[in-house]
Amino acid sequence: MVRGKRRASPPSGAGPSKRPHGRKLLAGPPESSLFSPVPGIPLERSSSPPAPIPLITEVFLRKQVEALTTSLAVREGELRWAREDRDAAWTDKEAMERERNTLVRVATERALEVRGLRERLAQMEGQPAGEAEGR
């Protein structure tokens, strides 16, 4: 030890006479003195139980859970929109298929009608004028 300078803390084996005077240390977790506004003097205890000091990993994991929860909510919203879009596309597809089927049916009926008229015309052209009118 250099003369004229004092140590910041008493040596580890210091007896009661070399310990700092002032407030008496309260029994409690060693980390309680870490957050004291005055070094070496712990905060005074209140009647309510002390709030637990979160560990860095716990804080980190809580932030991760918050971020994942937010991300999940966003993804759920996107999934809901995608399902709505899919359902709307499915409804449009079904409507277009019904319309196509109707158009195909109408076109088929008209084609059959035209075929029948051509066959009738061909028969009428092959018959004498008087017989065709009698039908």
pTM score: 0.40
Whole-number average pLDDT of the chain: 77
Task: State the pLDDT confidence band at 118, using cuts at 50, 70 and 90.
Answer: very high
pLDDT the model gives residue 57 = 86
Residue 124 CB neighbours (<10 A): 14
Kindly state the average pLDDT of the residues 73-89: 97
Task: State the pLDDT confidence band at 126, using cuts at 50, 70 and 90.
Answer: confident
Using alpha carbons, select from 36, 16, 11, 17 the residue that is nearest to residue 26.
36
User: What is the amino acid identity at position 65?
Assistant: V
Distance between CA atoms of residues 31 and 42, nearest Å: 9
How far is residue 128 CA from its own chain's centroid?
Answer: 82
**Distance (Å) of CA 3 to CA 6, 7, 9, 24:** 8, 10, 16, 29
- Give 16-70 pLDDT, tens digit per residue: 555 555 544 445 555 444 455 555 655 555 566 666 666 888 899 999 999 999 9
Q: Note whether 20 and 6 are within 8 A (CB).
A: no
- Give 93-112 pLDDT, tens digit per residue: 999 999 999 999 999 999 99
Distance between CA atoms of residues 62 and 55, nearest Å: 11
